[in-house]
Amino acid sequence: MEGDKKPIRSFSDLEIYQNSYAASLDVIDKIIPKLPKEEQHDLADQLRRSSKAVPRLIAEGYSKKHQQKGFQKYLDDALTESNEMMVSLSHVRDLYSSHVDPKLAGRLIEIYDRTSRQIYSLAKVWRNFKER
C-alpha cells in the first residue's frame, strides 16, 4: 500500500543505499577473503573499491539533491560502479567458483543489477521531476 512507505529523510532511507551497503558488506566479508592469492591485489582491490563506492556515491549525491547536475553526476558515477561490480562478480563466479560460492556471487550480481536499474530509474525520475 502506498501509505505504508516511510518518508525519505536521509540517504539511509533510500532502498538503493540500503541494498548496496548490505551487498558491499557481503563482498568485503564473504568474497574478497576467499579469492586466490594472485587476485588479492587486482580483482580484490577492484571489488573493494567499487563495492564501497556505490553506497558512498548515493549518499554523496543525496546531499546534492537540490542541484540537478550535481545529483545526476553522483548517480551516473554510482551506476558506473554498480555495473563494474556486476562484471567483477561475474569474473569471481566464472573463474573462481572453487574458492567462492558461485550462488553467493550470482545473488550479489542480481542485487547490483537491480541497484543499477534503480539508480537509472531514480536519475530519470529526478530529471523529469526537476524539469516540472
CA angle 53, 48, 108 (to 5 degrees): 85
Predicted pLDDT of residue 8: 78
Q: Give this prediction's pTM.
A: 0.88
Residue in this structure with the C-alpha cell 536499474, named with its chain if needed: 117
Q: Are 81 and 57 in contact (CB under 8 A)?
A: yes
Cα 72 → chain centroid: 16
pLDDT mean over 9-30: 94
Confidence of residue 46 (pLDDT cuts 50, 70, 90): very high
Predicted pLDDT of residue 63: 87
Predicted pLDDT of residue 67: 78
Confidence of residue 122 (pLDDT cuts 50, 70, 90): confident
Domain 12-131 listed as CATH 1.20.1440.60: yes
pLDDT mean over 103-128: 91
Predicted pLDDT of residue 131: 47
pLDDT mean over 31-51: 96
DSSP state letters, 15-48? HHHHHHHHHHHHIIIIIGGGS-GGGTTTHHHHHH
Share of the chain above pLDDT 90, in %: 70
Predicted pLDDT of residue 1: 44
Q: Copy the grid coordinates of residue 33.
A: 577473503
pLDDT mean over 69-79: 90
Confidence of residue 6 (pLDDT cuts 50, 70, 90): confident
Predicted pLDDT of residue 128: 67
Whole-number average pLDDT of the chain: 90
Q: Are 112 and 23 in contact (CB under 8 A)?
A: yes
